[in-house]
A and B are shown apart, each in its own frame.
Chain A
């Protein structure tokens, strides 16, 4: 029976967590602005194919990631038009967006099966990578991992310290009051939705360009839904999204590692465990009442 090397395990967890981390961060901003976009899966898979196609054709993974963000944002724009201009229900619009994104990505992806994308290089961090333990765990990844971590800090700081963050939160908490104060509720929300789409697109592209890397239809296989879960799990706080992403990624990776190490574990029950643990954590954290943005999911119309 083998033992599990914690160093390698943690390094694997960080990589496994990156796509859901990116998507969840985007969704966090969207929800903080008071909008519930359930179309994350659709935006992720669209980002995955846009990024893949551009990276393959241009030979540059960096361009691919840019295209992925753009693709996710364009799809999110549809959602913004629907919910912010046409004032449609957000839950239904988000689900429709997922359906649309899955169909669109399969159409766009025809002819991209069985192709290997250009490799995304590991970032050379010089001596940092040689630090025992930490070097392998933290400083041996590609640029996107650090971008995602940087984004966590940026979103956290933006929400907490900047005026833009304040406006965003105000819009999410009470859109009527924010409107009365002269803030452009719809504009703020549209921007947040676009940001969310771009992040989801990046997360999807991380799967198709780095983690897997290949293009196949439906390849995100539910990551978008997990990202949605993460936001609530994190009670709308950027730092906790990071923790949650690691926990989610961690349980999956650990489950596989335990099997590989030869422990006889009931697989189905362990596969359930991330979800059961989420519910458990939710129960524990539910005492924290400062959670959900008060206007979440509600339709705003400025009646002057």
Chain B
């Protein structure tokens, strides 16, 4: 198989060479999992792309392809961009991991950046955001704002990213409100507005007066608005159209600084394989404006918490913390290591219910 692989590589490299001759601009490609009009995940990545265009002007040309399915289609879409002379390609969904690595092997001269994955190569970096820092802020506000002591949480799939968010929010809600209880619905979708609306409704009927969501649509916001006295937070994008109430704050994915920095690195020839996992500090995770619906002192505390995390003085997963079964996870003052966080598959003590599977 090595011979055939070599042949393919040669053929593709040839194609790359011919494709790359005529240009002096740096070409940056983006592969999106959804439509850029999804108002959430892909929408924010595309805002990052537009920021790259604006920052570099004529020196950089960007291309993108939206709604790319995972698997063979992703591999083709990425190859296509590489063939057409892209110098740097961002693949913006976990499901593109294997495809990105497969294409990267054939195009050693093109740089690849894979979002939220864990496999790297000499020309493949990974990047992701520490959204759990934002969840900590949300948890704090939620714990303070709830009167029924019931916080509803619309989760998508039981994967580490989502579980991390639940744990972080719960830890910080409990810190300020020991009686708080989390009710969690697993929607098994990232995006299904009608189902999200139903889930929010069900949580509200169960007495939740704060709702956190890890799905992308504004449907839960609308359900909360209708209910009248339920607090929500924007997810992925600011969802400012529901401010100042029910939406009292939000977590915003802000990829622009990273995309600009990495493009600059390619232009300068200083690009290296990195595993970036940035939080509030470098600006990858944004906290949307905390509205006046939140009492002033709570807002001040939340902002202080945000600043502490941004400055690196505080880590949301700092001991003493136990696992759900009561066993010790982190001792007093101990901080969770990234490895455990990346593969998190357990609830912390106090959360009820089980993670599916």
Binding site for A on B (CB under 8 A): 34-35, 37-39, 43, 152, 183-189, 191-195, 197-199, 201-203, 205-208, 217-219, 222, 237, 239, 241-242, 352-354, 356
**Is the beta-carbon distance between A216 and B39 smaller than 8 angstroms?**
yes
**Given known A-B contacts A16-B198, A259-B186, A2 and B207 have beta carbons under 8 A apart:** yes
User: In the assembled complex, how far is the CB of residue A186 from the closest CB belonging to chain B, in whole angstroms?
Assistant: 36
Query: Which of A78-86, A144-152, A164-172, A207-215 sits within the interface?
Result: A207-215
**Is the beta-carbon distance between A253 and B37 smaller than 8 angstroms?**
no
A-B contact pairs, 14 of them (CB 8 A): A12-B205, A114-B239, A116-B242, A211-B197, A212-B194, A216-B37, A221-B195, A223-B194, A253-B202, A259-B186, A260-B202, A261-B183, A262-B183, A271-B188
User: In the assembled complex, how far is the CB of residue A294 from the closest CB belonging to chain B, in whole angstroms?
Assistant: 35
- Which of B35, B218, B354 is the one whose CB lies under 8 Å from A217? B35
Complex Cα spacing A23 to B199, Å: 22
**B191: which A residues are within 8 A, CB to CB?**
216, 221
Complex Cα spacing A36 to B197, Å: 31
**Is the beta-carbon distance between A113 and B39 smaller than 8 angstroms?**
yes
Is A302 part of the binding interface, using a Cβ–Cβ cutoff of 8 Å? no
**Is the beta-carbon distance between B205 and A214 smaller than 8 angstroms?**
no
Query: Which single residue of chain B is at the shortest CB-CB distance from A207?
Result: B194
**Is the beta-carbon distance between A213 and B39 smaller than 8 angstroms?**
no
**Is the beta-carbon distance between A266 and B356 smaller than 8 angstroms?**
yes
- Which of B184, B201, B207 is the one whose CB lies under 8 Å from A12? B201
Complex Cα spacing A9 to B201, Å: 9
Complex Cα spacing A260 to B192, Å: 18
Interface residues of A in 131-154 (CB under 8 A from B): none
Query: Which single residue of chain B is at the shortest CB-CB distance from A252?
Result: B198
Query: Which single residue of chain A is at the shortest CB-CB distance from B354?
Result: A264
Complex Cα spacing A172 to B353, Å: 52
**Is the beta-carbon distance between B217 and A106 smaller than 8 angstroms?**
no
**A110: which B residues are within 8 A, CB to CB?**
37
Complex Cα spacing A264 to B183, Å: 12
Is A267 part of the binding interface, using a Cβ–Cβ cutoff of 8 Å? yes
Closest 9 CB pairs of A and B: A212-B193, A256-B202, A260-B202, A260-B206, A8-B205, A257-B202, A217-B35, A113-B39, A259-B185
**Is the beta-carbon distance between A218 and B35 smaller than 8 angstroms?**
yes
**Is the beta-carbon distance between A5 and B205 smaller than 8 angstroms?**
yes
**Is the beta-carbon distance between B37 and A212 smaller than 8 angstroms?**
no
**A106: which B residues are within 8 A, CB to CB?**
35, 37
Is A19 part of the binding interface, using a Cβ–Cβ cutoff of 8 Å? yes
Max chain B C-beta neighbours (<10 A), residue from A2, A217, A256: A256
Binding site for B on A (CB under 8 A): 2, 4-5, 8-9, 12, 16, 19, 106, 109-110, 113-116, 207, 211-214, 216-221, 223, 252-253, 256-257, 259-262, 264, 266-268, 271
**Is the beta-carbon distance between A12 and B202 smaller than 8 angstroms?**
yes
**Is the beta-carbon distance between B186 and A267 smaller than 8 angstroms?**
yes
**A116: which B residues are within 8 A, CB to CB?**
222, 241-242
**Is the beta-carbon distance between A268 and B356 smaller than 8 angstroms?**
yes
**Is the beta-carbon distance between B188 and A212 smaller than 8 angstroms?**
no
- Which of B183, B186, B205, B219 is the one whose CB lies under 8 Å from A212? B219
- Which of A214, A257, A264 is the one whose CB lies under 8 Å from B219? A214
**Given known A-B contacts A8-B205, A216-B193, A221-B194, A262 and B352 have beta carbons under 8 A apart:** yes
**A223: which B residues are within 8 A, CB to CB?**
194
**Given known A-B contacts A16-B194, A114-B39, A213 and B356 have beta carbons under 8 A apart:** no
Using A207-B193, A214-B219, A271-B188 as known contacts, list a sample of 17 further A-B pairs with CB atoms less than 8 Å apart, ordered by residue number in A. Answer: A2-B207, A5-B205, A113-B37, A113-B39, A114-B239, A211-B193, A212-B222, A214-B39, A214-B217, A214-B222, A217-B35, A220-B194, A221-B189, A256-B198, A260-B205, A262-B183, A264-B354
- Which of B188, B205, B208 is the one whose CB lies under 8 Å from A9? B205
Complex Cα spacing A19 to B205, Å: 22
Complex Cα spacing A8 to B219, Å: 18
Max chain A C-beta neighbours (<10 A), residue from B184, B187, B201: B201
Complex Cα spacing A8 to B189, Å: 24
**A219: which B residues are within 8 A, CB to CB?**
193-194, 217
Query: Which single residue of chain A is at the shortest CB-CB distance from B237?
Result: A114
Complex Cα spacing A217 to B192, Å: 11
Query: Which single residue of chain B is at the shortest CB-CB distance from A113?
Result: B39
User: In the assembled complex, how far is the CB of residue B289 from the closest CB belonging to chain A, in whole angstroms?
Assistant: 16
**Is the beta-carbon distance between B241 and A221 smaller than 8 angstroms?**
no
**Is the beta-carbon distance between B152 and A212 smaller than 8 angstroms?**
no
**Is the beta-carbon distance between B198 and A113 smaller than 8 angstroms?**
no
Query: Which single residue of chain A is at the shortest CB-CB distance from B186?
Result: A267
**B205: which A residues are within 8 A, CB to CB?**
4-5, 8-9, 12, 257, 260
